[in-house]
Amino acid sequence: MKNLNFNHLVIIVLLGLLPVLSKSQERTIKGMVTTFDSIPLINAGVKVLSSKQITLTDTFGRFEVTCAENDKLKVSAKGFVSRKVKIDEKTKLALVNLSFKSGVKNVEIAVGYGHISDRDKLFAVSSLQNKQDNFSDYSNMYDLIRGMSAGVEVVGKEITIRGEHSINSSSVLIVVDGVVSDSDELDRLMPYDVKSIDILKDGAAAIYGSRGAAGVILITTKKGGD
């Protein structure tokens, strides 16, 4: 009888400790959601997969969630490709960068849903990836840049970025694999040979000095490993 009572007492104590043990395995994770590495995404949804809890980012793209020790977060916003982030014991801060879905219309969707406070920020830095945007759909580099890059205008072989003007020239600086190039290089380059295209303007192009005053288009081609 005494043993029975003792066993009951142990079970009651263990049941009482379960909430405490469960609580100790939970963690508070803070983070930030951006696009183009530096533009905050407002009201992006951060979902904790274990609890299904959804938290929205603030005006600085920041969030704070409570999750299990080894959990996953799903981060999503209209017009962007969603991402899953694995949380482990080493995770202290979750920095998530979302890329746009292919097509210029998704810029309008993102702005319309209020994910980006200043539309013009989108044209400061833009990035296109071959795997996501399927460069093979275009027959030449000019059609690719014109069709995929909002705010970029192509007239003949002259490429300009909206709002960027220079005293010397309004044409962008073209850099292919780190080497300053010209329109002849774009003529020889085929879209399916390109890995990514980054479009810089404003402060992002300042590293190129006066040559990048009208904006910069950085083109990275595929290597053997790609």
* pLDDT tens sequence across 154-192: 888 888 886 555 445 578 888 888 888 888 888 899 998
CA angle (69, 41, 151) in 5-degree steps: 145
Nearest to 31 by CA among 8, 56, 5, 61: 61
Specify the amino acid at residue 100: F
Three-state secondary structure call for residue 66: strand
Nearest to 38 by CA among 97, 113, 111, 99: 97
Tell me the pLDDT band of 2, cut-offs 50, 70 and 90: very low
In which residue ranges of the chain is CATH 2.60.40.1120 found? Answer: 25-122
In which residue ranges of the chain is CATH 2.170.130.10 found? Answer: 124-221
Tell me the pLDDT band of 52, cut-offs 50, 70 and 90: very high
Measured CA to CA, the distance from residue 64 to residue 29 in angstroms comes to 6
C-alpha Rg value of the chain to the nearest Å = 25
108-152 pLDDT, tens digit per residue, is 788 889 998 766 566 556 777 777 667 888 889 998 888 776 678
The highest-level CATH class for domain 25-122 is: mainly beta
pLDDT above 50 (res 20): no
Contacts with 48 (C-beta within 8 Å, 6 or more apart), sequence order? 54, 55, 65, 66, 67, 71, 72, 73
The pTM score is 0.54
CATH number of 124-221: 2.170.130.10
DSSP annotation of 148 reads H
Q: How far is CA 93 from CA 2, 32, 63, 149, in A?
A: 51, 8, 10, 32
